[in-house]
Amino acid sequence: MFKKIFCFVLLSFVARGVLAEDIHLPEPNKTGKVTLMQALEDRHSDREFVERDVDELTLATLLWAAYGVNREDGKRTIQTAMDKKDLAVYVFNKDGIWLYDADNNLLKQISDQNQLSLFQKQDYMQAVPVVLVYTGSTADYAAMHAGSAYQNVELFAAANGMASIVRGFFDQEKVAEALKLPEGQRVIISQAIGWKQ
């Protein structure tokens, strides 16, 4: 009987293409003592990281800074042309690849494989625990929206003692393949985030 139930559950997961589990993120922590002016003063690109994971609360908060919902009507922490929510934010970490679902404060699993090596073209990337990848439509304003989102993350990093750097030096085609991006969508830019030396 147990075997039958196990097989049924397994088959239904495979049939739906479900890999493992989506992650319900904790509520972002919106408190903080650092002023915007201090964060602007401290913002810089980091090229030295220590090997340390990013916990779920920190991840939830930095994703919220990037592209989270900050109003009841579903609008975001960044402004978007014609209110088009045409940006997508993916998280690469040692457990796989995830798509940030801001409306539900959820990470949807895309892969259960560690694919951080796709970004390791520069030595300092070896110790980076999280890479964000911004994708969007090939036309319109998606790249500008990515710029707003990565700037929010850099300011968050500056205000929270984290290390971060925006990166265009990686194989965008391979990353697009890993993400199984639909037609008309492209990889715009990536951003490494973790902890300072």
Ligand X SMILES: Cc1cc2nc3c(=O)[nH]c(=O)nc-3n(C[C@H](O)[C@H](O)[C@H](O)COP(=O)(O)O)c2cc1C
Q: Which residues contribute to the site for ligand X (CB under 6 A)?
A: 44-45, 122, 165-169, 189
Is the CB of 69 or the CB of 166 nearer to ligand X? 166
Is the CB of 98 or the CB of 119 nearer to ligand X? 119
> For residues 45 and 25, what is the distance between their CA atoms, to the nearest angstrom?
27
Residue sitting closest to ligand X (CB): 169
Measured from the CB of residue 138, what is the shortest distance to ligand X in angstroms?
A: 17
For 47, phi and psi rounded to 5 degrees? -125, 20
Place of tokens 């890993």: 178
* Contact partners, residue 127, CB within 8 Å, separation at least 6: 49, 50, 51, 194
For 164, phi and psi rounded to 5 degrees? -155, 155
> For residues 98 and 137, what is the distance between their CA atoms, to the nearest angstrom?
19
Measured from the CB of residue 58, what is the shortest distance to ligand X in angstroms?
A: 21
Is the CB of 34 or the CB of 144 nearer to ligand X? 144
Measured from the CB of residue 35, what is the shortest distance to ligand X in angstroms?
A: 19
* Contact partners, residue 174, CB within 8 Å, separation at least 6: 118
Measured from the CB of residue 192, what is the shortest distance to ligand X in angstroms?
A: 9
Is the CB of 145 or the CB of 167 nearer to ligand X? 167
> Looking at residue 134, what DSSP letter applies?
E
Measured from the CB of residue 191, what is the shortest distance to ligand X in angstroms?
A: 9
Measured from the CB of residue 189, what is the shortest distance to ligand X in angstroms?
A: 5
Encoding tokens for residue 82? 């014609």
Is the CB of 69 or the CB of 144 nearer to ligand X? 144
> Is residue 82 packed enough to be buried (19+ CB in 10 Å), middle (13-18) or exposed (0-12)?
exposed
Is the CB of 109 or the CB of 122 nearer to ligand X? 122
